[in-house]
Amino acid sequence: MSTSHIAPPPAADNPGAGETILAFELPHATVHVRALRESDNLALEWHGAADLRSFYEAQWWAHSSGEACVLVADLNGFPIGQAAIYWQGKPSHPEFPDLQSLRVHRIFQGQGIGTRLLEAAAIVVRARGLRHLSLSVGADNRGARRLYERLGYRVSSEPYEAGWQYVNAAGATVSVTEVVLDMIKEL
């Protein structure tokens, strides 16, 4: 049963900044990892807003064509996380599917959702009879690298520059380059 706590009424009609009016508990929620739906595209814009709309549209195309399998962490019908498995891999490891775009909404980070998305990706890859999964991590992203290593991923490359492009909301092509390390997990 949920409990509520009501604060004393504010002195004026307009409460002060940050002043609690009512505090309550939410019931336990279940997160479901499922396949991407086209209707998720706009909802995923919590990461990158309209500037990444072309990215999410391309991701949907890859998912719907079978080039990729995009998983989302769904909380009450809203995608709070995602991971995309690209079946063709990347140039450095074309024989292994490549996990890309792992992200969790900022307010839900630190609760194991990224770990669960990685576990679900491994289940999907194994279901196709494949034994390895690769990914890239920013060379300076120590937190993500620790997570991947804890889950059995091992560094398989020296640092190198990787890039991608998207068309932003103003119609300009934006190029992104990052120094990354490849990692591989045997499933």
Domains recognised in the chain with CATH numbers: 4-186 (3.40.630.30)
Q: Determine the distance from the C-alpha atom of residue 187 to the mean position of all C-alpha atoms in its chain, rounded to a whole number.
A: 21
SS3 48: coil
**Nearest C-alpha neighbor of 98 from the set 109, 82, 87, 110:** 87
Residue 10: half-sphere exposure toward Cβ, Cα within 13 Å = 11
The pLDDT mean for the chain works out to 91
Instruction: Please write the tens of the pLDDT for every residue from 24-70.
Output: 887 788 999 999 999 999 999 988 888 889 899 999 999 999 999 99
Instruction: Please write the tens of the pLDDT for every residue from 18-37.
Output: 788 888 887 788 999 999 99
Name the packing angle between helices 113-127 and 142-150 (round to 10°): 50
